[in-house]
Structure 1
Amino acid sequence: MSESGQTWRREFQAHPAEARQVREWVDTRLGHPDAPQVANELFVSVLASGTETVLMTLSTAGSRARVTAAGSVELKLHHSHGPGFFIVHGLSTLSGLNTDGRGLWAQLDSKTEGTEQ
């Protein structure tokens, strides 16, 4: 199985109306059915921190996809572990807080033929 992949980055204004654009952008790049919802929850969590923009990054490698949302303000505990955390945790394989504390990420795995997950 090839582990090569792609990475896309896009900066969105930190405004609730941008959430729809985030979901559409993610949906056009990742084939995972849960990716738009996960991206939405990550975006909204970072948006709530008070940052001016949210940088969304999508990366793929083999059957894995990683969605990251980052801002310029350190997230408080209720931003990184609020209600959206349970949605992200339930839909992703792994998730966490960026090392600088200003963003969140989630990994999504796709089932491939002949493997069990």
Structure 2
Amino acid sequence: MPETGHSWTRQFEAHPGTARLVRCWVTLRLRDLDASQVANELFIAVIATGTPTVEMTLSTAGARSRITAAGSRVLSLRHSHGPGFTIVSGLASTSGTTADGRGVWAQLTKKD
């Protein structure tokens, strides 16, 4: 049986105070209890590059949810594997950087 899902994308101002809006936006769309914390850490990693905006994308397929945060500047190793990386690694089933190096993503898998 094919999996069905949804996808949402939204631009946010790259400011620490906007992180609360990101968490609320994610909570309204994804049922995973860890999703808002993972999104927060991805968002913070991208704003650390100095990008003016962050594009957040949420995608679902079956039991999986994928959260991506991307900006206009390439992330350094410090941004993609900084302190928040430990949190994301602990909560997500897998994670990484986008192909263009300007974003980070994490996949969450629902536990039965």
TM-score normalised by structure 1 residue count: 0.94
Which stretches of structure 1, 4 residues or more, deviate above 4 A after TM superposition?
Answer: none
What is the percentage of aligned positions where both structures have the same residue? 62
Q: Aligned residue for 2:22?
A: 22
* SS of aligned partner of 1:67: strand
Structure 2: gaps of 5 or more residues: none
What does 1:18-97 align with in structure 2 at a 5 Å threshold?
A: 18-97=18-97
Alpha-carbon separation, structure 2, partners of 1:2 and 1:20: 34
* SS of aligned partner of 2:56: strand
Question: What is the root-mean-square deviation of aligned Cα atoms in Å?
Answer: 0.8
Question: Would you say how many aligned residue pairs link Structure 1 and Structure 2?
Answer: 112
Q: Aligned residue for 2:12?
A: 12
* SS of aligned partner of 1:73: coil
Offset at 1:32? 0.0
Larger radius of gyration: 1
Structure 1: gaps of 5 or more residues: 113-117
* SS of aligned partner of 2:16: coil
Offset at 1:111? 1.9
* SS of aligned partner of 2:20: helix
